[in-house]
């Protein structure tokens, strides 16, 4: 059987003007992951990333530590199907209807870095509405549309894959959540409860043969735990 390693990007710049940039901790997380995979003797035959900068930067930093200057290292393939859903668009589209019951929401969301717990509560509430499909608005990608995007990426990957390959996919938490939903049949709301626990640069492993895919492991971050450095275990 082949292996697909789903790797969540390193810590991004939460609360900054540009979220789509790895923080210094995020870069370190990716380097630690690459070194850990090298120590385990993991062979990567193909590497795929979404086209977001935080995903590609994680891929480059991880593979540099894993493969060094190996001239035969696989080129990182880019497939935007493995991008994260547009969280900002979800917030902009669904927040107005929620303001009557959450009058402080706008201030909290604008100052997320200073209100992390409240931001998470409000964001989870907005995502819950998005998942139902009852609040879909023109121009906003629906949850079902996002799932179909991710499914298309997985199907393309499998069509091109050899059953003995180890494939690394550098992606994001929402994308991993959609894959959990597709592969295990877990309900979207339950899948997102797991989403909030996905650690930056964690590994989830899928086993595949042909078009048959199963979940082998989820959210492993032992590479960070072994360092006994709690600051490296982050969720955004």
Q: Is residue 203 a contact partner of residue 170, using CB atoms and an 8 Å limit?
A: no
d(Cα 224, Cα 128) in Å, to the nearest integer?
Answer: 30
Report which of residues 111 and 36 the model is more confident about.
36
Which of 6-10, 159-163, 184-188 is the least confident region?
159-163
Q: How confident is the model at residue 71 (pLDDT cuts 50, 70, 90)?
A: low
Strand stretches in 13-144, DSSP E: 46-49, 76-78
d(Cα 104, Cα 165) in Å, to the nearest integer?
Answer: 50
What does the buried/exposed string (b/e) look like for 21-38 if buried means 16 or more CB atoms within 10 Å of the residue's CB? ebbebbbbbbbbbbebbe
- Reference 137, options 175, 183, 95; nearest CA is 95
Residues 166 and 193 both lie in one domain: yes
Question: Domain range holding 10?
Answer: 2-84+142-232
The predicted pLDDT at position 99 comes to: 92
Residues 9 and 75 both lie in one domain: yes
The residue-averaged pLDDT of 31-54 equals 95
Strand stretches in the chain, DSSP E: 2-8, 46-49, 76-78, 166-171, 203-209, 212-220
The residue-averaged pLDDT of 205-228 equals 97
Chain-centroid distance, C-alpha 19: 14
Residues 14 and 71 both lie in one domain: yes
Q: What pLDDT, in 10s, does the model give residues 103-162?
A: 898 888 888 778 888 988 999 999 999 999 999 899 999 999 999 999 999 999 999 999
Residue at a domain's end among 108, 132, 156:
132
The residue-averaged pLDDT of 9-24 equals 79
pTM value is 0.93
Cβ–Cβ contacts within 10 Å for residue 136, how many?
A: 17
Residues 57 and 172 both lie in one domain: yes
Residue at a domain's end among 100, 132, 164:
132
d(Cα 13, Cα 10) in Å, to the nearest integer?
Answer: 10
d(Cα 189, Cα 198) in Å, to the nearest integer?
Answer: 15
Residues 80 and 91 both lie in one domain: no
């Amino acid at each position: 059987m082949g292996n697909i390693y789903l790797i969540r990007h390193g810590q991004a710049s939460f609360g900054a003007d540009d979220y789509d940039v790895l923080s210094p901790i995020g870069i370190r997380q990716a380097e630690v992951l690459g070194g850990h995979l090298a120590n385990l003797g993991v062979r990567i035959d193909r590497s795929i990333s979404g086209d977001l900068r935080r995903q590609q930067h994680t891929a480059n930093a991880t593979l540099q530590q894993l493969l060094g200057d190996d001239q035969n290292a696989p080129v990182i393939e880019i497939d935007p199907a493995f991008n994260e859903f547009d969280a900002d668009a979800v917030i902009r589209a669904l927040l107005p209807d929620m303001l009557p019951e959450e009058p402080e929401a706008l201030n909290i969301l604008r100052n997320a870095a200073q209100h992390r717990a409240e931001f998470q509560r409000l964001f989870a509430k907005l995502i819950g509405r998005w998942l139902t499909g009852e609040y879909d608005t023109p121009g906003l990608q629906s949850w079902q549309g996002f799932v179909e995007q991710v499914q298309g990426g997985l199907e393309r990957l499998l069509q091109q894959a050899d059953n003995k390959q180890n494939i690394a996919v550098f992606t994001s938490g929402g994308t991993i959540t959609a894959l959990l939903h597709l592969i295990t049949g877990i309900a979207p709301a339950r899948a997102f409860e797991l989403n909030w626990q996905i650690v930056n640069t964690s590994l989830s492993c899928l086993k595949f043969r042909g078009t048959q895919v199963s979940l082998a492991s989820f959210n492993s971050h032992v590479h960070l735990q072994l360092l006994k450095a709690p600051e490296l275990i982050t969720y955004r």
